[in-house]
Copies of this chain bind each other. A is one copy, B any other.
């Protein structure tokens, strides 16, 4: 067994999702590992990761509608609002989604279902540089 680790940086354009499946598969190919796991971790408290439907962009639009209800921007109940209306909502959206994901590696690729894509979610209004570490382990 061996381990292979790389850090990647993605530029977001404000709130929304960035597909990262291809970048993750490139790291898996670099690793030479054919059977094992691939761990994806993002290093920020106002962003997160999600595996969801990769075909119809309306799915991600509707997930946005739902997150906006569950973690509303600029809620007067929030105490943490130094960076604006999206500040606390961003932390809450991160809690309700995923800071890290692991996918199986099979035959040298991320073994995702037909309709599954891996997305980096930006929860702030402004675009940011977001760092992601990918760790592949296996044989």
Q: Which residues of A contact B (CB under 8 A)?
A: 1-3, 5, 35-37, 39, 41-45, 50-53, 56, 58-59, 61-63, 65-66, 70-71, 77-80, 82, 88, 91-92, 94-104, 106, 111-113, 115-116, 131, 133, 135, 137-139
Contacts and interface: CB of A to CB of B under 8 A. Distances in A.
B104 A131 contact: no
30 contacts: A1-B2, A1-B137, A2-B139, A3-B35, A3-B139, A36-B135, A37-B135, A37-B137, A39-B102, A41-B103, A41-B104, A43-B111, A43-B112, A43-B113, A43-B116, A44-B113, A45-B51, A52-B91, A58-B79, A62-B78, A62-B79, A65-B77, A66-B71, A66-B92, A95-B96, A98-B98, A104-B133, A113-B131, A135-B138, A137-B138
Identical copies of this chain, number: 3
Contacts of A91: 52-53, 59, 62-63
Nearest to A41: B104
Contacts of A2: 1, 139
Contact of A137 (B36, B41, B79, B97): B36
